[in-house]
Structure 1
Amino acid sequence: MLKKLLPSVAFAAALLQAAAQSPKTYTIDAAMPKAQISPNMYGIFFEDINLAADGGVYAELVKNRSFEFGTPLMGWKEQQTGGASGKLEVIDRTAERPENAHYLRVKADAATGSYGLANEGFRGMGITKGEVYNFTITARKTTAAFITMTVELRDAKGNVIGKGSLTPTSAAWQKYKVNFTASATEDKASLYVLLKGKGTLEMDMVSLFPQHTWKQRPGGLRADLVQKIADMKPGFLRFPGGCIVEGRDLANRYQWKKSIGAIDKRETLINRWNTEFTQRSTPDYYQSFGLGFMEYFMTAEDIGATPLPILNCGMACQFNTGQLVPVDQLDPYIQDALDLIEFANGGADTKWGKLRTDLGHPKPFNLKLLGVGNEQWGEQYIERWKLFTKAIKAKYPYVSIVSSVGPFPEGEEFTRLDKFFRSQHADLLDEHYYKSPKWFLDNAKRYDNYDRSGPKIFAGEYAAHSTLTGDALKKNNWESALAEAAFMTGLERNADVVRMASYAPLFAHVDGWQWAPDLIWFDNLRSYATPNYYVQQLYSLNKGSYTVPLLVDGKAVAGQDSCYASAVVDKATKELIIKFVNAGDKPQPVTFNISGAKAFAAAGTVVTLTSGKRDEYNSLDKPKAIVPVKSSIAVKGKAISLTVAPSTFKVIKLKML
């Protein structure tokens, strides 16, 4: 009985403590615009890390579908039943098809039983009961014998939960397809491709997709994951990274031209996160580029986000090989940048604009932002940046260039790049910070004294790491999310300097991640949003049109009594929006006195994100442990009063009459 009473006793004690304190008075002048907020202010950063693309948002269920991995049969296992036998041979055709250099020759002797192979998928295949699955294969028959193919989905116990069949008939390469419906739900299913008869069949591009994808596009994206980013209403989509832009070496850099067009002509590439971390080695991590630049642009358009592609600037990752293209050989890299802008914006009368049109999208993508390099530093970057910028601005002066100031938010290299780019009147400086929650709290004033006339800031990658030790311990806990919410009041307050911001990374597969923390976690069937996600979403959905002063004792609210705050006005909805964070361990009774508005509706809305445990986090089994809760608040004239509990983030919206 005593245990049941303890929470209520503690709560009552907290209320008494709050009542004993005098409310702190905060002033807001709703009639004094301080800074216009960029419509692209809060966006998303996408990189194919943590199985984010293949095995994640790209809905293909077959791993190594075209036998192009370093070990060509990785992900596949030979299968034979009922006395059947046969042989699997990987055929190299590099001279004929360098972008798709291998196919599989299957010699089957299966007058009885069956012979073939099975694919394990990406940590299994997520199969949903009642869903229709679309199987396709490119094949040719090299013997006259009659061969039939059976396609089966099997659960983890070997039970058949979906089945179809087809009969390859042509001696020339031809695409075959069959659809079937799953009879059960299974998150660790496998695909079996089995032959009956005696003869030889050659196969390539073995593929399985659910019929229901994002926007119902065949061969498209996983709908639940795209929906989660759409629900954030992001202002921009940065792609394709991240460090995979650079590659461990230049041969393995991301090349956008190899990621568009026919799927079977997109060259498979080892993912640079394949062996990056020995404690999270992922030797089966490759990029099929089924999610390529065309799909990135279309997804950005789908969700109303401005596209922000980042391109290699002739430098491999400086944490790895640091390979450099000689400056006098940089022209192809610069031309790739110019061609990308033409691909995105050019008319059908241009080479690359015509290709976009031929791919089914005659309307331009309205590209206005382009990143040159990712996390680069040093004189080598500066000299390459100059050449890229000169060429891009000469032909496309309206394109704003995102420039790297290195991987860290301070230090010698950061200072040198910051000074150089300011002298060059650069457009946007890409600052990154993966730091402790304390760093985020301590740096809420980071941009208060930045030069208002200098380059604008893109907070391109950031996340509060709950520990700076092993990745397995870096949870997306409430402590980290709360610190980010506090820090973001400083981003918002300085919207005249900070034009864009994005948490990173975006996605992580619970069975195949390399880096933590991450914004959205998923397995083969389910996904959940982290507390950090909800912080980002609340800012994005409530960014407003311009900032207004919110002060305590005449100063910006950036850590006094462990509180952080910002205020904006949304012209479209005629709302005053207050964001308030109590990062301390004591309740904070507060009063907001508002001037500059004629009147407010009698009741406002409050969205509260909080947890009584700083180490609490959401999970697949408990996806709603920490979620926003909506309530109302009384408005008395031009004032509101409330008590903000410890470790709490609130968004208060008041309708201006």
Structure 2
Amino acid sequence: MNKSAKVTIDTNHKKFPVSPSLYGLFFEEINRAGDGGIYAELIRNRSFEDTIIPDRCEVEGCELHSPAGWVSPFEEAPGSIPGWHLRKDAEESKASISLDENDPLNSENSLSLRVELEDVVDKEISVYNEGFWGIPLKKNEKYNLSFYAKKDGNFSGNLEITLENKKGEKLSSIPCEITSENWEKYELVLESTAEEPEGVLAFSTSDKGTFWLEFVSLFPQKTFIERKNGLRPDLVKRVADLEPKFLRFPGGCFVEGFSVETAYRWKKTIGDLTQRSSHWTLWNYRTTNGLGYHEYLQMAEDLGLELMFVVNCGLTCQGRPGEHIPLEDLDDWIQDMLDAIEYANGPITSKWGTLRAENGHPAPFNMKYIEIGNENFGTEYNVRYKRFYDAVKAKYPEIITIWNTHWEVGTETKGLPVEIVDEHFYADFDYYVMYSDMYDTYDRNGPKVYVGEYAMILGEGAGKLKGAISEAAFMTGMERNQDIVTMSSYAPLFANVQHTNWTPNLIYFNGTNSYVTPSYHVQKLFAENRGDIVLESKVETENRFPSFNGGMSFREIDLLNIKAINISSDEKSLFRSEYLTKEQPGTCLEWYGLRIGDSSWKDYTVDMNAIIGLQGLKVRFLDSTKEWQQNYFLWEFDSNGENRLVHINGWSRVKLSPNQALNVNPDGHHLCIKVTHDSLYCYLDDQLIHEYKIAKIPYLTTVSTLDEQNNEVIVKLVNASEYNLETMIDIDGKVKLVGKQIVLTSDDPNQTNTMEEPNKVIPIETVLQVDSNIYEIPSFSVVILKIAL
């Protein structure tokens, strides 16, 4: 069954220019995006540090325990040497490999690989590296090998170095003699005689004795623009095809870390590779930092992108939980930021500009943006933000700063000087479509908005066409409001199929191939079809009503402050108690706190007396989900009485009515929440404080722009419904639609692409020739019409 809709576009009502920087890249070292991904190094664990436990952390079994109590996976078995193996061609041979911390190469590389050959019988003994799930080798291509080695006096020094296929057959071989009992560097070139996606690099000998290896590196000569220590060309092309305008780097949570030692410090990632510090990441593996600060700057320049550096503002990830750098120690971190700007932008005569030149780039990189922190919030963040902001503006007033409001709401800036706010959204399908008009009502006198991270990650359709459609609906809202929404970037960008911490992502890859998701196609289509001017347009569409249900939840710290609670529905009591405890009958204690009721609750009224404590008060209702599958409403009080009504979905948050102030009574207040099928009401001491009429979910969302050069209107249409939409496209009364059409859809909205079927869901471009202004938009589709005027 079809439904109807209407889109009216007024080409004479030009609202504002499109933002040239709306679509960009967010790169984070997650999912092996860098090491084992876009960074072209082929050797895993090249400096033998992958099993080093971060300072002040402990490993129990397969779990890493942080100083603040965060528990995360630590997958490497005790005593293992990831990536490296010993092979004996004769079983009677006696040999071993082990990590050696004696006589380190330098202070930044504390471990080497000791290869002890006690008894070699007839055949060779080999130590080999299998790379990141196999070393991808291409026929007739050359590879630059470098390593440090030394030997003891009993070893002849004779080695055969080979590239081999997974059967052990040699595809390239070169002799090498280790000549010294002290560390020496060796550099060789190997050429593969065959194609092999899962090759290995082997060091073999038939002699007795002991030798050591350190910092073993293998790079294809064919990197992006053939840069040394460069990037994987096919993955760079995937990125370039998105037509991005800026690069936000190097993270995310990667910047924060979960402890001071795991936070990103850029000075440890520049210069000679052997002098760089590797570090354990928040995403459960160690990074070499071979893809370091300079390489990020170079990558952006090579792709013609503006630069946005995310700096750690003295807070590690607050959700894991975090550690705070004391305010009296913050100057070192502030200076780190200033020095990073000088390295990127300073003259060759400056300290860090000189080092940049020594590292091969005399000209400035012209970094434009500094983002102060990542997903930080609260008083701890605000005071640190102000100090970083003041320091930047005092020395580099031209730098544009970005305030991170991920867990705040809207553009509330707490009275701080803010140029751009960074908002992050990770939610379900309904959320993105339901709030596609979010920015229509944002304050035009407030700061500009950067949607720094977003993706549909929850529920059916995540990572599939359905997820991409919901993201596209939200993107139409961003494009309609480019006067304030000036930048955006999807996240995450990359994932190695062998090591995926987070889903979904835009680009998936293995050692030789890659494929892209429907979300990638949406990003690419929206970036390619921008136009010049946003036009006034309106949509008339049918919609559906969202379904919310669930009981109440309270934090444990709030239980003692809740008295005389009564929950009723149609004059029937659902729950009543004079006080709340963790063992309360009719409740259950979960990760968040005490849950009352179940997912069957819908329309109800809550009456209770509550004290607002030193940690405020949080009242969750219509709460039907557990832990990270979050979908509920929250009436939230700060300790000073300021309160707000918000909708929480996944890691996303929308303010539903203006903040309200309250003079806190230490004896408590009477709170009443009324939930109806379409509205929410919050009363404080019998006064209506918040009222919200639940938004509906439109079938059709749209945005239109004018392409002045080609004299055509670009109409983006997102049908987030199960119905085909017979849609009238009224452009100044035109009766025919002529031009081009690009359609991204599928018979099944839960289809996606895979390595085996990379083109299962792709956009199709055809000629548009409709002898009327009625256009049928397929169900669950993204359509771009380029209509000639």
Q: Establish whether TM, by shorter chain, passes 0.5.
A: yes
Which residue of the partner structure matches residue 122 of structure 1? 132
Structure 1 contact 38–500 (Cα < 8 Å) conserved: yes
Larger CA deviation: 206-215 vs 161-170: 161-170
Structure 2 contact 521–763 (Cα < 8 Å) conserved: yes
Which residue of the partner structure matches residue 392 of structure 2? 392
Which residue of the partner structure matches residue 526 of structure 1? 513
Q: State the AA in 1 paired with 2:740.
A: T
Aligned partners of 1:466 and 1:182: how far apart in 2? 44
Which among 162, 186, 190 is matched to residue 180 of structure 1? Answer: 190
* Within-5 A mapping of 1:45-194: 45-69=26-50, 70=52, 73-82=81-90, 84-92=93-101, 97-108=106-117, 110=120, 112-143=122-153, 146-194=156-204
Which residue of the partner structure matches residue 543 of structure 1? 530
Structure 2 contact 541–698 (Cα < 8 Å) conserved: no
Q: State the AA in 1 paired with 2:107.
A: P
What's the TM-score, normalizing by structure 2?
0.73
Larger CA deviation: 582-591 vs 369-378: 582-591
Which residue of the partner structure matches residue 608 of structure 1? 743
Which residue of the partner structure matches residue 203 of structure 1? 213
Structure 1 contact 458–500 (Cα < 8 Å) conserved: yes
Aligned partners of 2:766 and 2:354: how far apart in 1? 52
Task: Tell me: CA distance 1:601–1:612, structure 2 relative to 1, closer, same or farther (3 Å).
Answer: closer
Q: Which of the two has greater helix per residue?
A: 1
Larger CA deviation: 166-175 vs 299-308: 166-175
Which residue of the partner structure matches residue 564 of structure 1? 701
Which residue of the partner structure matches residue 785 of structure 2? 652
Alpha-carbon offset, residue 571 of structure 1:
4.0
Aligned partners of 1:234 and 1:427: how far apart in 2? 22
Which residue of the partner structure matches residue 438 of structure 1? 430
Structure 1 contact 247–317 (Cα < 8 Å) conserved: yes
Task: Tell me: CA distance 1:444–1:321, structure 2 relative to 1, closer, same or farther (3 Å).
Answer: closer
Q: Deviations over 1:32-84 (max 9, x none)?
A: 32133221111111111111111111121211111122267332222333465
The higher-RCO structure (CA 8 Å, 6+ apart) is 1
Alpha-carbon offset, residue 311 of structure 1:
0.9
Aligned partners of 1:553 and 1:514: how far apart in 2? 41
Q: Secondary structure at the match of 2:136?
A: strand
Task: Tell me: CA distance 1:541–1:601, structure 2 relative to 1, closer, same or farther (3 Å).
Answer: farther
Aligned partners of 1:44 and 1:573: how far apart in 2? 27
Q: State the AA in 1 paired with 2:727.
A: V
Structure 1 contact 475–617 (Cα < 8 Å) conserved: no
Alpha-carbon offset, residue 145 of structure 1:
5.3
Alpha-carbon offset, residue 86 of structure 1:
4.0
Aligned partners of 1:201 and 1:458: how far apart in 2? 54
Q: State the AA in 1 paired with 2:387.
A: L
RMSD (Å) for aligned C-alpha atoms: 2.7
Alpha-carbon offset, residue 174 of structure 1:
3.1
Structure 2 contact 109–274 (Cα < 8 Å) conserved: yes
Paired residue total: 609
Which residue of the partner structure matches residue 731 of structure 2? 594
Q: Which segments of 5 or more consecutive residues in structure 1 lack a partner in the other structure? A: 1-16, 275-284, 409-413, 468-472
Task: Tell me: CA distance 1:72–1:220, structure 2 relative to 1, closer, same or farther (3 Å).
Answer: farther
Structure with the greater alpha carbon radius of gyration: 2
Alpha-carbon offset, residue 112 of structure 1:
4.5
Q: Which segments of 5 or more consecutive residues in structure 2 lack a partner in the other structure? A: 53-78, 544-694
Structure 1 contact 244–272 (Cα < 8 Å) conserved: yes
Larger CA deviation: 73-82 vs 478-487: 73-82
* Within-5 A mapping of 1:462-477: 462-467=454-459, 475-477=462-464
* Within-5 A mapping of 1:465-544: 465-467=457-459, 475-544=462-531
Aligned partners of 1:534 and 1:458: how far apart in 2? 21
Structure 2 contact 433–697 (Cα < 8 Å) conserved: no
Which residue of the partner structure matches residue 378 of structure 1? 378
* Within-5 A mapping of 1:263-412: 263-274=273-284, 285-406=285-406, 408=407
Larger CA deviation: 325-334 vs 58-67: 58-67
* Within-5 A mapping of 1:31-50: 31-50=12-31
Structure 1 contact 47–244 (Cα < 8 Å) conserved: yes
Q: Deviations over 1:549-597 (max 9, x none)?
A: 12235999x988601100112345544211111112222222323249x
Which residue of the partner structure matches residue 593 of structure 2? none
Task: Tell me: CA distance 1:56–1:560, structure 2 relative to 1, closer, same or farther (3 Å).
Answer: closer
Alpha-carbon offset, residue 631 of structure 1:
0.6
Q: Deviations over 1:250-296 (max 9, x none)?
A: 1111111111111111111112111xxxxxxxxxx210011111111
Aligned partners of 1:72 and 1:294: how far apart in 2? 32
Task: Tell me: CA distance 1:94–1:640, structure 2 relative to 1, closer, same or farther (3 Å).
Answer: farther
Structure 2 contact 539–702 (Cα < 8 Å) conserved: no
Aligned partners of 1:342 and 1:66: how far apart in 2? 30
Q: Secondary structure at the match of 1:100?
A: coil
Q: State the AA in 2 paired with 1:208.
A: L
Q: Which of the two has greater strand per residue?
A: 2
What's the TM-score, normalizing by structure 1?
0.87
